[in-house]
Amino acid sequence: MNNSAPVLSSNLATAPVLSCVDVSKHYGHGALAVSVLRTININIMAGERVAIVGASGSGKSTLLNILGGLDVPDTGEVSVAGEVLSKMSADERGFLRNRSLGFVYQFHHLLPEFTALENVAMPLLIGKMNMKQSKEKAAVILERVGLAHRLEHKPSELSGGERQRVAIARALVTSPACVLMDEPTGNLDTHSADAIQALMLELNQSIGTSFIVVTHDLRLAAKMDRTLTLSDGVLV
C-alpha cells in the first residue's frame, strides 16, 4: 500500500473537493456511550483516489456516511465542494449530494423494476433534467462502462459484475466531484472484482472524479493514491 501523499497534476484544483475537520461520532449516552470516530481530519483533492481500510467495526462505513452527508457528526464539520453541510438545510444537503457526490455500495441497490438505462437516468431526473436528456446522458455513461448492449435489461437479467457497472454508471452520471464507495468489489468473484477495479482506475483517469473507497481488499487499496487506516475510530 502507498501511504504517501499523491503527486497531483498541476491542472487539479488546489482546494479539496471534500474535507472533514475534527469530526467525531458516538452512539448511546452516558456510561453506555460508544465512541465510533474521534477527531478525524481528511482532505480529498480533485481527481484523488483514497482508500479507507481497517478492521470490521473500526468506523469505516460510519465515516463514509458522514463524508457523504448521510449521517451527521456529533462534533466537527464536513465540507463538500466548499459547502459546509452543517450550515445547510436537509433539502439543500440532498441537492448537493445529488449534484456533487456519487455513491456505490457492496450491494448495487438498483431498482429491480427499472432497466439499466432507467436506473442510471434516475439521479438526473431527480435533479430536474428532462427525460430525453437524462436517458441520452445515461446511455453515454453506460457505454463508457461497457454496457451499451444492456441498456434495456433489468437488474435480474444482469450478472453481478454488470449490476455493479450499472451502479458505477449511476454514481458518475451527474459528473460528481467525488464518488464514495463502500466495499464496491466485496460481493464479486475475483474476475469480476478485477474488472471493476480496472474500470474504476480508467474512469478516474479519464473523467478526473475523486474516489473514496472503503475496502477490505488490500489489492484494491494498493491501487489508490493513498491509504487511510482506521483503528478504533482513529486514523493511524
Bridge partners of residue 84, in order along the sequence: 79
- Which contiguous run of DSSP H or E holds residue 130? none
Ranges in the chain, pLDDT < 70: 1-13, 108
Type of residue at 188: L
What separation in angstroms does the CA of 80 have from each of 74, 83, 87, 229? 18, 5, 12, 22
Q: 157-177, pLDDT tens digit by residue?
A: 998 889 988 998 998 898 888
Q: In what order do the strands lie in the sheet with 101-105?
A: 101-105, 178-182, 210-214, 49-53, 226-231, 234-235
Instruction: Extract the C-alpha cell encoding 54.
Output: 481497517
Burial code of 56-74, b = ≥16 C-beta within 10 A, e = fewer?
eebbbbbbbbbbbbeeebe
**Residue 232 has what pLDDT?**
86
Instruction: Extract the C-alpha cell encoding 27.
Output: 452512539
What is the value of pTM for the model shown? 0.83
